């Protein structure tokens, strides 16, 4: 089975712009979760989608949003980018408890 794929792998944006990241889960996995990894805060949960519905949300501002499509593919959007949004954004898909991560998208905000 192919693993979780994320596009793009690297992205450079400037403050105030918006960005959309994409995630394709492992075939058959209906749950997709997003995490942000920064050196200071570690891995932090953003949100989880299951069957196109947001099932759980972490403690992030409303500038962070996401959605899931009928084929389980997911996108996350960050609007009005800030310098502190620079991070590795990880997507994980899951059949139940174990989550399987993609390689991440490295976002740099200048």
Partner 1 sequence: DQQVKQNSPSLSVQEGRISILNCDYTNSMFDYFLWYKKYPAEGPTFLISISSIKDKNEDGRFTVFLNKSAKHLSLHIVPSQPGDSAVYFCAASGNYGGSQGNLIFGKGTKLSVKP
Based on the shown chain and the rule CB under 8 A, indicate whether residue 43 belongs to the binding site for partner 1.
yes
On the question of a cis peptide bond just before residue 8, with omega within 30 degrees of 0, the verdict is yes
Residue 106: both structure tokens together: 């490295």
Based on the shown chain and the rule CB under 8 A, indicate whether residue 27 belongs to the binding site for partner 1.
no
Closest distance to partner 1 from the beta carbon of 95 (Å): 10
Nearer to partner 1, 18 or 88 (CB): 88
CA distances from 94 to 40, 78, 83 (A): 26, 23, 31
Residues of span 47-86 touching partner 1 by CB under 8 A: 48, 50, 55-56, 58
């Amino acid at each position: 089975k192919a693993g979780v794929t994320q596009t793009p792998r690297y992205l450079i944006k400037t403050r105030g712009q918006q960005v959309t990241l994409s995630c394709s889960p492992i075939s058959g996995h209906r749950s997709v979760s997003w995490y942000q990894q920064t050196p200071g805060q570690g891995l932090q949960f953003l949100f989880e989608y299951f069957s196109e519905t947001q099932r759980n949300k972490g403690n992030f501002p409303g500038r962070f949003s996401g959605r899931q499509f009928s084929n389980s593919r997911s996108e996350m959007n960050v609007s009005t980018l800030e310098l502190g949004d620079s991070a590795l954004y990880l997507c994980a898909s899951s059949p139940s408890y174990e989550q399987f991560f993609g390689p991440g998208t490295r976002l740099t905000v200048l």
